[in-house]
Amino acid sequence: MASRINHVGVAVRNLEETLRFFRVVLCLEPSRKAKAPQMKAAFIPVGDGEIELIEPTDAESPLAKFIAEKGEGLHHISIQVSDVERTLALLRKKGIKTIDEKPRIGLHGVNIAFLDPESTKGILIELCEESEGGRP
């Protein structure tokens, strides 16, 4: 089912300030930036995966509420799978609750879906589909 960790999502209050930390302290540069409704992100390659820094752009968004409640830090773990829709169906048969009823297009431009943390020991897990090249 899962082939690897695609990325680790980290919720931040200020994307540029956090990027400065990664540049100066860890000598890591983002490979790209992206915007989506209610958020902006930067992707920092590390080994075979990435760190996805995500900043809310809407104070009423779920991400902004997450930061207000829990602070900055780990938001989700993205697991790469070959077929998000098929994986969702298999997990539902096992009793796993999902946030997304069907896959949607994520910041990587491929199908994603989130599992409900109530079913995953409190961890927000994103399923991320491989692109035709094998990686989003």
pLDDT in tens, 2-33: 789 999 999 999 999 999 999 999 999 999 99
Quick one: DSSP state of residue 123? -
Question: What CATH fold (topology level) applies to the domain 2-129?
Answer: 2,3-Dihydroxybiphenyl 1,2-Dioxygenase; domain 1 (3.10.180)
d(CA 10, CA 130): 21
> Would you call 59 exposed, middle or buried from its count of C-beta atoms within 10 A (0-12, 13-18, 19+)?
exposed
pLDDT band at 38 (very low <50, low <70, confident <90, very high): very high
Host H or E run for residue 87: helix 84-93
pLDDT confidence of residue 134: 45
**Dihedral angle at the C-alpha atoms of 73, 41, 51, 86, nearest 10 degrees?**
100
pLDDT confidence of residue 130: 79
* pTM for the full predicted model: 0.90
Contact criterion met (CB below 8 Å) for 111 and 130: no
